[in-house]
Amino acid sequence: LKAALLLVGNEILAGFVRDANIVLAARALVPRGCPLTRVEGVGDDVDEIAAGVGRLAAVADLLVVTGGLGPTEDDVTRAALARALDTELVLDERALAQILARAEARGLPTPERVRWQAEFPRGTESVPNPVGSAPGIRCRIGDCDVWVLPGVPAEVEAMLPGLLATLPEPAAGISYERLVATAGLNEVFVAERVQGSGFRPPAGVQLAYLPSPAGVRLRLAAPHGVAGAVLDRAAAELRTALAPHDLPTSTPAEALVQESTRSGTTLASAESCTGGMIGARITDVPGSSAVYLGGVIAYANRVKSERLGVAPELLERHGAVSEETVRAMARGCRERFGSDLALAVTGVAGPGGGTPQNPVGSVWLAVADEEAIVAQRRSFPGGRETVRERTVNAALVMAYRRIRGILE
């Protein structure tokens, strides 16, 4: 089975909203043996949407369309779907009743525009929306099963289970992919390691390298499905070839939370240039509250002194971006929070603030535990966002490795 996704909306094409629906749809569909093979994005234009629906329905078994079901004049996906189906819009009384009941329960007005959301192309069926006002639409175009969902990711997430329930169950023991994450190894090195180990993917399995700011990940994909044990064995071989740069999970934050939980190590964080991103990333992981106590965002130097105990003279002498400061931040954080381990970062994320000694991208990271404080200086290329993102990942990986006993 092949799936396609059509993203509808000027907010995507004009760059005002960063798409989140490709990830949601892909992560739901891959394990069901129905991967996305093509994605398209078009603006809020009846002709463009109708043409996109036609193009994708011709090449996919399942087409998911997201966006353009709202109550405003520029929400024209319903009209476009009617055009693609060569039919007209008709009011769906059941959908209208749902929309009005939901609006009433939430105290929202129900002008004519709200009723538009219950106008579906003739012959299509409505799909309940448990978290938003606009119902979805399901229909067939040729051999393709078409699902039209609202564009808001939370609504897509809530409505995907209904779609998945209509797909055939995968055969027992059959899997479609495994992922092996790595950290701190350039793509060239990763490829050399894998090649050097003599690794060959099993029959029916493809190996792909997925670069990301968190590190290179390797994906074993079996488009037609193979025994899960075959994929497990291949993933284990890859991890052996890449150790100790392999991660047991798909992200550094998950690896850290898993390893902290396993070992009973509590965590705290002290962040300057990342401004809270390390805490945010750790607490993204459900269950992190069992190990993560909290942290200090020490953006101003005064906060580094008053809230983390970094001596003002030390800051004065060595500067905020220095080994001495990051060590004092990690020590002070661990003491004050009473955690087993503390992470600390301080750096120059840019665009301003660079000096000859510490140009933009210069970052000091430290991990403090009962035994020692380990500090590292890194220099990250790129703009503010990239520097912050790479700093967060480097800190999470340092802490993970420290708990694993592979960082000294």
Contacting a copy of itself within 257-286 (CB under 8 A)? 269, 271, 273-280, 282-284, 286
> How far apart are CB 169 and a copy of itself at their closest, in Å?
21
Residues 117-146 that bind a copy of itself (CB under 8 A): 131, 133
Question: If binding is defined by CB under 8 A, does position 198 make contact with a copy of itself?
Answer: no
CA 248 to chain centre: 17
Distances (CA, A) of 394 to 259, 326, 389: 16, 14, 9
Q: Cα 261–270–348 angle (5° rounding)? A: 125
Tell whether residue 177 is a contact of a copy of itself (CB under 8 A). yes
Q: Identify residues 290-329 at the interface with a copy of itself (CB under 8 A).
A: 292-300, 302-303, 306-307
Instruction: Rank residues 188 and 203 by Cβ distance to a copy of itself and give the closer one.
Output: 188
Of 87 and 153, nearer to a copy of itself (C-beta) is 153
**Binds a copy of itself by CB under 8 A, chosen from 1, 32, 38, 377:** 38
Smaller CB distance to a copy of itself: residue 126 or 269? 269
> Within positions 206 to 265, which residues make up the interface with a copy of itself, using CB under 8 A?
206-213, 217, 219, 221, 250
Cα separation, 206 vs 237, in Å, equals 14
Q: Please state, in angstroms and rounded to a whole number, the distance separating the CA atoms of residues 27 and 288.
A: 22
The nearer residue to a copy of itself, 47 or 232, going by C-beta atoms, is 47
CB of 373 to a copy of itself, least distance (A): 21
Q: Does 27 interact with a copy of itself (rule: CB under 8 A)?
A: yes
- Report phi then psi at 119, rounded to 5: -95, 110
- Say whether 277 sits in a helix, a strand or coil: helix
Nearest approach, Cβ of residue 283 and a copy of itself (Å): 3
Binding mask 44-83 vs a copy of itself (x if CB under 8 A, - otherwise)? x---x---------------------xxxxxx--------
Q: Which range touches a copy of itself (CB under 8 A), out of 224-232, 234-242, 321-329, 336-344?
A: 336-344
Nearest to 399 by CA among 208, 254, 207: 254
How crowded is residue 388: how many other Cβ atoms within 10 Å of its Cβ? 24
Residues 197, 216, 360, 362: is their CA dihedral positive or negative? negative
Q: How far is CA 142 from CA 58, 124, 145, 233, 320, in A?
A: 8, 14, 8, 40, 64
Spatial separation of the C-alpha atoms in residues 309 and 311, rounded to whole Å:
6
How many angstroms separate the CA atoms of 83 and 77, rounded?
Answer: 10
Window contacting a copy of itself (CB under 8 A); options: 20-28, 81-89, 241-249, 255-263? 20-28
Q: Which is nearer to a copy of itself, 142 or 381 (CB)?
A: 381
Q: Which two tokens stand for residue 391?
A: 């700093």
Nearer to a copy of itself, 40 or 145 (CB): 40
Cβ neighbourhood burial of 309 (10 Å; 0-12, 13-18, 19+): middle
Rounded Cα–Cα distance for residues 393 and 213 (Å): 8
> Does 16 interact with a copy of itself (rule: CB under 8 A)?
yes
Nearest approach in angstroms of CB 386 to a copy of itself is 4
Restricting to residues 355-384, name those near a copy of itself by CB under 8 A: 381-384
